[in-house]
Each structure stands twice: as C-alpha cells, then as structure tokens.
C-alpha cells in the first residue's frame, strides 16, 4: 500500500494500519470495537467499508472484494482477470461453505497472479468464530486454515495484498488466528473530543464555535452515528429542522428568549417525534443558570443517557445524585477525605486522584448515600454496573468490552459497583458458565489497573463484607483508597443525621437542638438507616395527628420503632472496616489507637460469634 501523492488525513487507527502494512509487520489486520460507526472525511460521511474502499485503498489497490458468510465473494472494485469459470466464481456471490471455499481458492489464485488486492471480511466473527478447531466442522476448519495460511504466505504478503477482518469484539474471533504473529489487531476507538467537534460542526453548521466546543465536551461516549441522530442536519429522521423549530416556538410562546431558545433546541432534537420534544421542553420553567446553553445541555444529556443505556444493552445505569456532601449528617472525617478527592478531580490533579475507592462498613451506615453525595460534589458523571454475572451470557465478553469502551470514552466518570462482594467474591465462579465469570472479573480487574484511567475512570465499590473480596481487587492501583463507615458515635452526630434527613425531605423540625440531643442520647447503636426510618415515622405520626413535627412526635417515633437486632454481625462488620481502612485518621476514637494485633484478634472473635449461628 504505497502512499498516494495527495492523501486525505487519516484517522489515527487507519494511519497505524497503513504504517504497519508498509513496514511489513502484517498483511492481515483485525479491526475491532467501533466498527459499526460512521467516519467523517472532509464533507463525506462513510461507513467502515466505504471508508476502506473510497479513502484508504482509493489509489493503492486495483481489486477490492468482500468475503462474507451471507453474500459469499463479490467484487467492490475492479474485475477479476480472465473469463474462466474460476474467476467468474469470484465475481458472483456463493452460497454454502463448500461454495465459499471454492470461491476463496479462485480468489487466492487471482491474488497470486495479479496481486494488489484488498480483501474485506465484514462480520468476521461469523466466518471465523472463536472455537476450538478440533470441534469445528470440516468446512469451518478449512476456511480458518485458508485465512491463517494467507497471512503467512510470502507470495501473497509480498504481492501488495491485504486482508481486513472486521468484528466488534476481538474475543469473538478465532484465537488461533489472532495469535499468529503476522496478524495485527487494531482498535477503532470511540470518537475523541477533536473528532466530536468536527462531527458536530458538520451536522450543525449554525452552532457557534463556543457551542460546538461545549457540546462536544458533553457528548463523550457517543458514536458518530449517535451524534448524527441528535444534530439538526442529519437526514431521513422525520421532522425537518424548520418544522422542529416551529413546534418548539409554539411550546415556548410567551417565554423570555423564545426565538433564540427555539433555534438552538431545534438544532439538537433531530430524530425526535413531537411528543418526545414536548416532554423535553419545559416552557413553564425559567432558563437555568447559564442560559440557553444549559437548557440545551440538559436535552443532550437526556438523549445521551438514553442512547448509551440502549447501546450497553441495559448493563449500565446512569446515576444522578441530587444532594452534595453538605446534606450528609455526621461522618466528618469521611467528608474531609472525600472533599479533598473531589477537589483534585475538579482541578484535574490525576496524580493525586485514587484509581478507585472501597467503601466498607456495616449495613445502614450511609455508604451509598455518602458516595452519591461525593459524586455530586466532584461533578462526576456516574454509571452503575448491573448484574453482569447473570446477564452476560453467550456474548458476555463482547458486552463487557462494549461497556468498558463506552465508559472510557465518557471520562471523567465514576463506575459504581454496589454489593461488590457478590460481584467480585473470592469463591469459584458460579457453576455452568464455563469460566465466563472468571474471565469477566479478570478483564474488569485488568481495566481497573490501567494507569491511563487515573483521573478519568474512578471505580467505586461498596460492601459490608470486604473479607469476601479477592485480595488482589483491594490492592493499591485498583481500589487504593479504603474508606470505613461506622454508626454515629455521639448524640450530636445522630442529631445531625436526623436534621439532615428531615431537611432533604423538606420537613421543618420544630424540636430545639437541646431536645434533639437529649432524644438522640438514647439512640446509641442506631444506624443511619435506622435514624432515617425514625425521622420519617415521626413525620407520618405528626401528619396523622395534625400536630407539629416536634420533640413529642420524634419521641413517639423512637418509642414505636424497633431497630434490627444484629449486634454480633454489626460488630464483625465494624472490625472488618477497621482492618481494611487505608488511614487511621478516618477511624472513630475507640478504634484509632488500637494495635494491629488487637484488631486481628478481636476480628477473629467477632467472626466466630457472628457466623456461628
């Protein structure tokens, strides 16, 4: 593949392919990951095959053909030499493995005779599935062997011939082919910031340069095809931009800046029905702080969320915290630690940012709420991994890679794994999955340890049983900051929690601080969840009796509420949190000066009591 005299600037992945080919490193390439996207070159939008034919191989290959299980072999450019029956087979699609294999032999003869041929194999995983050759049908083995031989045959590799295998998941391709030293795998990544800027400017030319920059920063994780479905200039998606603008102008009639808002909103609602637009536009609400751009960003965020959740097949869920750390009662040491991390994240101090956080402590100690408040404080987008052990069946690895690629493209972002002991337990993988769970967990561990993710992808795991986690998941470089959670130590802390809970729910408490302290003095051992239950029960009692929410209502609620009686288990979980913490300064006073030997002996004794039932 010689470089043409006037060559279009290629994407980085395509330039990498070209350089490896010219250097003789490989003549068979596997393109994977974002293979179903579109690629913008100048003013032309290509799918992957169109890009390869029209741009990459435009001036360098005489013949280009497609090999697929569905359509056999067909010419995309040029004609096979001669008019023999064998060559005719190359021109016409063939059906069945036998017919395809025969056509491949004819194609090989042409590649040897005429050379300068590019072979493109879409859906290569269907033709070369990841299977043990000893268990493959004879025709499947023959097709696999043909591609393997092509990659090594010097006559073919030195004859300016190239083979491109296309698959979304690298794990879906036969591993015997991938291990071949003359086969190179090249990842097609999700669009980066620069690419998104070009795509948004192309599809929405009416946007100003600052708007293009702002919107491109907020669309990380979206493919070009998804950006096209949002932006105004995309075609074939129902209502035109002018029709959308007219509709939005009607919805915003009588509101400030209606004309400007309608113009901007029409730009980013391509592909939406009138009903969908009506749900997104809120004419009764004033413009948020930041003006029209913030309103547009809200629409983009909503559409981005829908697209990514659909893209990841329900395997992730977006988390949108409502409260910051100011709404957290108690946990002063933890809040100090998390505020420092949030500050580093906001300032882009990747060196000072942990790779991951492990929140440990007994149930009901506020781990989930505090972590969500931290995400709000840090301004981090966040997604939760959902049930990957039970849902990722069959195409498990492919789904996982899609999720990880999306997450990486969305950075900076937090990935939340609640009840981590269930997902990353140290026991054997569940029976019947042929080692799939082990492979999934191993890949997640590998991703968590990638140093380039520091400051971009923050893993946050929560568990009350860290003893069930694999030891290597807790090591520095994965979950390197371990934050212990405990029940409130004093009446003052419990009063803070009650006040914070009532404030979050918009309830006005008439009890004085002295009354709250006196009441909370009798609530020793109550978890944050218990205190929230007491507060809401007091609200219910006050409303039923049409009385103020005062000390009397709170006292009645305390007398009526029955907290869970799991003291042995709670003590065990507290000592587990003590043994896992990464900093003594985050421990309560009763644990802070305890020697490690005493912690371990107390932990073993508590474990016997808790698990002996």
Quote the tokens at residue 275: 């009903």
Encode pLDDT of 192-212 as tens digits: 999 999 999 998 888 889 889
pLDDT level of residue 393 (50, 70, 90 thresholds): very low
Encode pLDDT of 374-391 as tens digits: 999 998 889 998 765 544
CB neighbours of residue 463 within 10 Å: 26
Q: Which residue is associated with the tokens 């010689």? A: 2
Instruction: Indicate left, alpha or beta for 606 from its phi (over 0: left) and psi (-120 to 50: alpha).
Output: alpha
Dihedral sign (CA 509, 513, 519, 521) = positive
- Selection from 593, 560, 571, 559 nearest residue 527 by Cα: 571
Q: Is residue 157 a contact partner of residue 151, using CB atoms and an 8 Å limit?
A: yes
Encode pLDDT of 444-457 as tens digits: 889 999 999 999 99
Report how far residue 525's alpha carbon sits from residue 530's, in angstroms, rounded to the nearest whole number: 9
Please write down the HEC assignment for all residues of 341-363: HHHHHHCCCHHHCCCEEEEECCC
- pLDDT higher than 90, residue 425: no
Q: Quick one: how far is CA 260 from the chain centroid?
A: 34
Give the per-residue pLDDT at 81.
Answer: 40
Q: How far is CA 481 from CA 341, 460, 600, in A?
A: 10, 10, 20
- pLDDT higher than 60, residue 532: yes
Give the per-residue pLDDT at 186.
Answer: 97
CATH 3.40.50.300 fits 316-484, yes or no: yes
- CA angle (420 as vertex; 414, 424 as ends), nearest 5: 110
Give the per-residue pLDDT at 430.
Answer: 47
Whole-number percent of the chain with pLDDT over 70: 88
Residue boundaries of the structural domains of the chain: 12-188, 193-311, 316-484, 490-613
Return the H-helix or E-strand segment holding 546.
none
Q: Which residue is associated with the tokens 């900051």? A: 481
Q: Say if strands 162-166 and 117-121 run parallel, antiparallel, or are unpaired.
A: parallel
Q: Output the average pLDDT for the chain.
A: 85
Give the per-residue pLDDT at 130.
Answer: 85
Encode pLDDT of 263-313 as tens digits: 888 888 887 778 778 777 766 555 555 555 677 777 888 888 888 888 787
Q: Is residue 530 a contact partner of residue 561, using CB atoms and an 8 Å limit?
A: yes
- pLDDT higher than 60, residue 571: yes
DSSP assignment of 253-270? TTSTTHHHHHHHHHHT-T
Encode pLDDT of 147-203 as tens digits: 999 999 998 988 899 999 999 988 889 888 999 999 999 999 999 999 999 999 998
Q: How buried is residue 505: exposed, middle or buried, by Cβ count under 10 Å (0-12/13-18/19+)? A: exposed
Report how far residue 460's alpha carbon sits from residue 420's, in angstroms, rounded to the nearest whole number: 9
Instruction: Give the contacts of 199 (CB within 8 A, at least 6 positions apart).
Output: 40, 191, 224, 227, 228, 231
- Asked if the domains at 12-188 and 316-484 fall in one CATH topology, the answer is yes
Q: How far is CA 583 from CA 233, 334, 337, 520, in A?
A: 54, 11, 10, 29
pLDDT level of residue 18 (50, 70, 90 thresholds): very high
- Kindly give the interhelix angle for 551-560 and 513-520, rounded to the nearest 10 degrees: 10
CATH number corresponding to 12-188? 3.40.50
Give the per-residue pLDDT at 234.
Answer: 52
Q: Which residue is associated with the tokens 């409303």? A: 543
Phi and psi of 532, rounded to 5°? -65, -40
Encode pLDDT of 470-482 as tens digits: 888 888 889 989 9
Encode pLDDT of 533-570 as tens digits: 999 999 999 999 899 999 999 999 999 999 887 889 99
Q: Which residue is associated with the tokens 């620069």? A: 194
- Selection from 352, 81, 34 nearest residue 192 by Cα: 34
- Kindly give the interhelix angle for 193-203 and 209-217, rounded to the nearest 10 degrees: 130
Report how far residue 548's alpha carbon sits from residue 538's, in angstroms, rounded to the nearest whole number: 10
Phi and psi of 307, rounded to 5°? -65, -45
Report how far residue 85's alpha carbon sits from residue 4's, in angstroms, rounded to the nearest whole number: 34
Quote the tokens at residue 243: 């029709």
Give the per-residue pLDDT at 89.
Answer: 43
pLDDT level of residue 82 (50, 70, 90 thresholds): very low
Give the per-residue pLDDT at 471.
Answer: 84
Report how far residue 335's alpha carbon sits from residue 586's, in angstroms, rounded to the nearest whole number: 10
């Amino acid at each position: 593949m010689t470089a043409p005299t006037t060559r279009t600037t290629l994407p980085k992945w395509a330039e990498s392919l070209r350089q490896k080919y010219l250097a003789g490193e490989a003549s068979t390439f596997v393109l994977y990951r974002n293979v179903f996207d579109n690629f913008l070159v100048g003013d032309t939008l290509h799918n992957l095959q169109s890009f390869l034919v029209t741009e990459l191989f435009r001036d360098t290959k005489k013949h280009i053909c497609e090999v697929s299980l569905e359509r056999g072999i067909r010419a995309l450019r040029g004609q096979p030499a001669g008019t023999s029956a064998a060559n005719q087979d190359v021109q016409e699609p063939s059906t069945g493995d036998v017919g395809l294999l025969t056509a491949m032999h004819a194609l090989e003869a042409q590649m040897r005779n005429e050379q300068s041929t590019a072979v493109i194999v879409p859906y290569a995983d269907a033709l070369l599935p990841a299977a043990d050759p000893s268990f493959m049908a004879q025709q499947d083995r023959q097709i696999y062997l043909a591609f393997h031989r092509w990659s090594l045959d010097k006559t073919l590799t030195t004859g300016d011939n190239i083979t491109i295998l296309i698959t979304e998941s690298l794990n879906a391709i036969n591993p015997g082919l991938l291990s071949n030293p003359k086969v190179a795998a090249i990842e097609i990544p999700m669009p980066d910031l620069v690419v998104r800027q070009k795509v948004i400017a192309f599809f929405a030319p009416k946007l100003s340069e600052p708007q293009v920059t702002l919107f491109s920063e907020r669309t990380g994780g979206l493919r070009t095809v998804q950006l096209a479905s949002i932006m105004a200039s995309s075609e074939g998606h129902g209502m035109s931009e002018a029709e959308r603008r007219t509709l939005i102008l009607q919805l915003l009639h009588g509101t400030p800046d209606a004309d400007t808002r309608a113009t901007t909103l029409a730009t980013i609602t391509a592909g939406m029905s009138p009903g969908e637009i009506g749900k997104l536009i809120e004419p009764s609400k004033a413009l948020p702080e930041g003006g029209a751009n913030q309103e547009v960003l809200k629409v983009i965020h909503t559409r981005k969320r829908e697209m990514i959740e659909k893209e990841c097949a329900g395997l992730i869920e977006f988390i949108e915290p409502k409260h910051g750390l100011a709404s957290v009662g108690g946990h002063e040491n933890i809040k100090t630690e998390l505020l420092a991390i949030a500050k580093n994240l906001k300032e882009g101090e990747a060196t000072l940012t942990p790779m991951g956080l492990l929140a440990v402590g007994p149930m009901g100690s506020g781990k989930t709420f505090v972590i969500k408040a931290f995400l709000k404080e840090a301004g981090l987008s966040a997604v939760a991994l959902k049930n990957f052990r039970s849902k990722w069946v069959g195409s498990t690895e492919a789904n996982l890679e899609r999720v990880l690629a999306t997450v990486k493209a969305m950075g900076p972002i937090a990935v939340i794994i609640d009840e981590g002991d269930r997902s990353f337990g140290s026991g054997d993988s569940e029976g019947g999955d042929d080692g799939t769970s082990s492979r999934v967990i191993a890949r997640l561990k590998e991703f968590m340890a990638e140093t380039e993710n520091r400051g971009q992808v923050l893993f946050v795991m929560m568990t009350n049983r860290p003893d069930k986690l694999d030891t290597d998941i807790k090591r520095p470089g994965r979950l390197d900051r371990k934050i212990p959670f405990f029940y409130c130590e004093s009446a003052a802390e419990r009063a803070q929690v009650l006040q914070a809970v009532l404030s979050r729910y918009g309830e006005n408490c008439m009890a004085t601080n002295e009354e709250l302290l006196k009441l909370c003095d009798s609530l020793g051992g109550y978890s944050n969840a218990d205190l929230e239950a007491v507060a809401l029960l007091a609200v219910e009692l006050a409303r039923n009796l049409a009385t103020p929410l005062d000390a009397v209502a709170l006292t009645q609620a305390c007398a009526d509420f029955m907290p869970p009686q799991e003291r042995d288990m709670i003590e065990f979980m507290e000592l587990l949190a003590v043994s896992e913490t990464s900093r003594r300064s985050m421990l309560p006073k009763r644990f802070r000066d305890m020697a490690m030997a005493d912690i371990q002996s107390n932990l073993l004794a508590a474990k016997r009591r808790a698990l002996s039932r």
